[in-house]
């Protein structure tokens, strides 16, 4: 559809206003975190820092023996662990659901997809008891396994679609040539499925890094707290009026996920729309 | 397992297949199916952390029906859902229709509207708490300079203020997600459909009503259901922004379950609430799949 000139001007004008509305809250937070302490609690508020200071970031990262750094490292461990587990498990299962046939396979598929319908929030209480008995509370491993379980349906679905989109004849001729199923999977199909893995990676990264409720429930002890839990507790119990800590903490918490999103957004959006529109 | 022989035979016959599936199925059974069965069982007990469980039958459910706070948390959640779902949908639809035009900057705009989706609810809540701050917040300053308010507003101070403020944050945070879904739907309408309509002599209004809307109806349903389900499970932003207050006016179901389970250690009662939540969500999911299926059959 061809737009008239005034429509083009209107299109850009509206979009620029919207862009301002969407980024303003984040920019305002960034500005606050860079202001000298005595410029933060002022009324009327001043938009730009009188002078840019990284003092609050230094305080945040060193306070209490660098505990905020530890929260970040904890999140990094849990997030990367989850990504590895979910990539391995969902590619194996996705391959099976795309190519292997045996009785009962549909029941497994339905059971895994059912995880999408049942909210994990309703399973927190029994999961807590189970994790307690298994000694998995307050451990990286426990949280990784739970995150993986609840990210599996999306990722299995994604990987199955990725494998199904590849020609089945590759597998058939390789099997005829004497390859084993494992060889067909690792040597032929995996290298061709990198876009699917990219989608799984960015989805898993964003979901794990940003998750609060399960981390709060299962990893409550200070040593293994994730960054979302640590930041929440900073606001709720310790630095409620200390906005330099809260704003700099917010900026640090959003940086990794924004970097990953900007690099891999194409794959994230692809996964989102392929899952949603079908 | 009493049928070990059969299981073993099944495994050896389908060894390769089982090798591929075992990790996924194991995780699914241990961390999903097992707790799912367990939560039903626990909901019939006075379940104690120390291990002395007492069977109550429907006692927990009886208590639930007579618990005003449970009903309050349910109605809080429904009210919040009813505010936020249309808000997200309308903003997302406006954004999607706007970005359905090609321009050199369309992709840049799309990415920017999606940025709040990428950050966590915790961060988004803190960002907006600073904006909503009663004494030093920029919102009060901007609105009073423009003459919209005469004195500072306590944005989280009363139940309705808190509901609307949190909703505003959530609309900002999640509209980009629904926008992506709607945009994909809009762009998925095949050009041939318009061409065929043109040959049949359809005008612009008829094309919109009889071609575009019926084709993207499943996408509409999908976008609506995603935010409906998401808002029914709200926890993070209320936990950070209001802690359920003032006077439990923003206590959501998931928050109440969390408190019952992990602050009052009332595991059986919390499980009964979980079952109610689970049933509501499954009904919502079934409505979603049903309406999508009926679309494809038509």
- A149 neighbourhood in chain B, CB within 8 Å: 27-28, 30-32
Q: Which of B3, B16, B20, B53 to mutate to test the interface with A (most CBs of A within 10 A)?
A: B20
Asked if A125 contacts B39 with a C-beta cutoff of 8 angstroms, the reply is yes
Q: Which of B12, B13, B27 to mutate to test the interface with A (most CBs of A within 10 A)?
A: B27
Confidence at residue B2, expressed as pLDDT on a 0 to 100 scale: 57
Q: Which of B6, B9, B32 to mutate to test the interface with A (most CBs of A within 10 A)?
A: B32
Residue of A nearest to B115 (CA): A258
Interface predicted TM-score (ipTM) = 0.94
Q: Is B20 on the interface with A (CB under 8 A)?
A: yes
Residue of A nearest to B27 (CA): A149
Average the pLDDT over B189-208 and give the result.
81
Confidence at residue A277, expressed as pLDDT on a 0 to 100 scale: 40
Q: Which of B74, B101, B123, B208 to mutate to test the interface with A (most CBs of A within 10 A)?
A: B123
Confidence at residue B294, expressed as pLDDT on a 0 to 100 scale: 62
Contacts of B95 (CB under 8 A, 6+ apart): A18, B113, B175, B176, B179
Q: Could you say which residues of chain A have pLDDT below 70?
A: 1-3, 274-278
Of B20, B34, B103, the CB nearest to A130: B34
Task: Give residues 45 to 74 of A whose Cβ lies within 8 Å of B.
Answer: 45
Of A145, A156, A212, the CB nearest to B24: A156
Contacts of A88 (CB under 8 A, 6+ apart): B23
Quote the longest CA-to-CA distance of chain B. 80
Cis geometry, peptide bond prior to residue A16 (ω within 30 degrees of 0): no
pLDDT digits (tens, 9 = 90+) for B67-96: 999 999 999 999 999 999 999 999 999 999
- A258 neighbourhood in chain B, CB within 8 Å: 115, 118-119
- C-alpha distance from B123 to closest chain A C-alpha (Å): 5
Q: Is A150 on the interface with B (CB under 8 A)?
A: yes
- A40 neighbourhood in chain B, CB within 8 Å: 136
pLDDT bracket for residue B48 (50, 70, 90)? confident
Asked if B159 contacts B69 with a C-beta cutoff of 8 angstroms, the reply is no
Average the pLDDT over B142-158 and give the result.
93
A198-211 per-residue burial string, b: 16 or more CB within 10 A, e: under 16: bbbbbbbbbbbbbb
Q: Is A225 on the interface with B (CB under 8 A)?
A: no
- Between B202 and B43, where is the model more confident? B43
Instruction: With a cut of 60, say whether residue B296 has pLDDT above it.
Output: no
Going by C-alpha positions, the residue among A202, A197, A179, A172 that lies closest to residue A100 is A172
Q: What is the mean pLDDT of chain B?
A: 90
Cα separations in angstroms, A38 against A33, A68, B32, B127: 12, 23, 51, 20
Average the pLDDT over B126-130 and give the result.
97
Domains defined along chain A, listed by start: 27-277 (1.10.3720.10)
Residue of A nearest to B107 (CA): A266
pLDDT digits (tens, 9 = 90+) for A197-217: 999 999 999 999 999 999 999
Between CA A230 and CA A259 the distance in angstroms is 21
Q: Is the dihedral of CA A97, A99, A104, A106 positive or negative?
A: positive
- C-alpha distance from A45 to closest chain B C-alpha (Å): 6
- Between B77 and B294, where is the model more confident? B77
- C-alpha distance from A33 to closest chain B C-alpha (Å): 11
Residue B126 and residue A23: Cβ atoms within 8 Å?
A: no
Q: What is the mean pLDDT of chain A?
A: 92
* Phi, psi for residue B263 in degrees, rounded to 5: -110, -40
Asked if A198 contacts A267 with a C-beta cutoff of 8 angstroms, the reply is yes
Confidence at residue B204, expressed as pLDDT on a 0 to 100 scale: 76
Residue of A nearest to B271 (CA): A125
Q: Is A175 on the interface with B (CB under 8 A)?
A: no
* Phi, psi for residue B259 in degrees, rounded to 5: -65, -45
Structure tokens at B31: 């961390």
- C-alpha distance from A4 to closest chain B C-alpha (Å): 12
Going by C-alpha positions, the residue among A36, A104, A189, A203 that lies closest to residue B25 is A104
pLDDT bracket for residue B298 (50, 70, 90)? very low
pLDDT bracket for residue B255 (50, 70, 90)? very high
Confidence at residue B291, expressed as pLDDT on a 0 to 100 scale: 74
CB neighbour class for B262 (10 Å; exposed up to 12, middle 13-18, buried from 19): middle
Asked if A33 contacts A244 with a C-beta cutoff of 8 angstroms, the reply is yes
Average the pLDDT over B197-207 and give the result.
82
pLDDT bracket for residue B148 (50, 70, 90)? very high
**β-bridge mates for residue B54, sequence order:** B46
CB neighbour class for B298 (10 Å; exposed up to 12, middle 13-18, buried from 19): exposed
């Amino acid at each position: 559809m061809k737009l008239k000139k005034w429509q083009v001007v209107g299109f850009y004008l509206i979009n620029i206003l919207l862009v301002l509305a969407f980024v303003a809250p984040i920019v305002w937070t960034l500005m606050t975190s860079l202001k000298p302490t005595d410029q933060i609690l002022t009324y009327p508020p001043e938009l730009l820092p009188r002078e840019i200071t990284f003092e609050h970031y230094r305080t945040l990262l060193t306070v209490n023996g660098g505990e905020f750094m530890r929260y970040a490292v904890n999140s990094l461990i849990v997030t990367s662990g989850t990504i590895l587990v979910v990539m391995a498990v969902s590619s194996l299962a996705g391959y099976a659901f795309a190519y292997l046939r045996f009785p009962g396979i549909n029941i497994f598929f339905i059971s895994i997809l059912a995880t999408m319908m049942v909210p994990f929030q309703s399973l927190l209480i029994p999961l807590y008891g189970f994790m307690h008995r298994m000694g998995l509370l307050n451990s990286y491993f426990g949280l990784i396994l739970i995150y993986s379980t609840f990210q599996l349906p999306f990722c299995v679905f994604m990987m199955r679609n990725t494998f199904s989109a590849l020609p089945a004849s590759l597998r058939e001729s390789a099997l005829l040539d004497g390859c084993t199923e494992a060889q067909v999977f690792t040597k032929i199909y995996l290298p061709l499925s990198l876009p699917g893995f990219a989608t799984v990676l960015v989805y898993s990264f964003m979901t794990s890094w940003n998750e609060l409720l399960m981390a709060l429930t299962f990893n409550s002890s200070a040593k293994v707290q994730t960054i979302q839990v640590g930041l929440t507790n900073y606001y709720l119990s310790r630095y409620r009026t200390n906005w330099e800590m809260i704003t700099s903490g917010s900026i640090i918490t959003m940086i990794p996920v924004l970097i990953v999103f900007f690099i891999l957004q194409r794959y994230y959006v692809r996964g989102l729309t392929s899952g949603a529109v079908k | 397992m009493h049928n070990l022989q059969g299981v073993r035979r099944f495994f050896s016959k389908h060894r390769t297949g089982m090798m591929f599936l075992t990790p996924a199925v194991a995780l699914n059974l241990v961390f999903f199916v097992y707790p799912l069965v367990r939560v039903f069982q626990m909901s019939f007990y006075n379940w104690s952390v120390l291990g002395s469980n007492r069977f109550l039958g429907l006692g927990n459910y009886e208590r639930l029906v007579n618990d005003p706070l449970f009903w309050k948390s349910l109605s809080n959640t429904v009210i919040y859902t009813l505010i936020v779902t249309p808000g997200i949908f309308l903003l997302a639809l406006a954004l999607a229709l706007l970005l359905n035009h090609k321009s050199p900057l369309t992709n840049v705009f799309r990415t920017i509207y999606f940025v709040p989706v990428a950050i966590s609810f915790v961060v988004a809540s803190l960002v907006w708490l600073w904006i909503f701050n009663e004494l030093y917040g920029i919102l009060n300053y901007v609105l009073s300079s423009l003459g919209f308010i005469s004195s500072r507003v306590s944005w989280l101070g009363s139940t309705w203020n808190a509901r609307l403020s949190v909703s505003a944050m959530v609309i900002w945070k999640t509209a980009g997600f629904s926008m992506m879904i709607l945009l994909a739907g809009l762009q998925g309408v095949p050009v041939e459909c318009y061409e065929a309509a043109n040959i049949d002599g359809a005008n612009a209004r008829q094309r919109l009503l009889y071609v575009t809307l019926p084709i993207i109806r499943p996408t509409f349903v999908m976008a609506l259901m995603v935010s409906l389900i998401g808002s029914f499970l709200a926890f993070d932003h209320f936990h950070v922004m209001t802690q359920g207050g003032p006077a439990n006016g923003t206590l959501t179901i998931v928050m109440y379950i969390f408190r019952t389970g992990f602050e009052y250690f009332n595991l059986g009662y919390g499980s009964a609430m979980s079952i109610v939540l689970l049933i509501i969500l499954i009904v919502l999911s079934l409505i979603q799949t049903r309406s999508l299926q009926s679309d494809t059959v038509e």
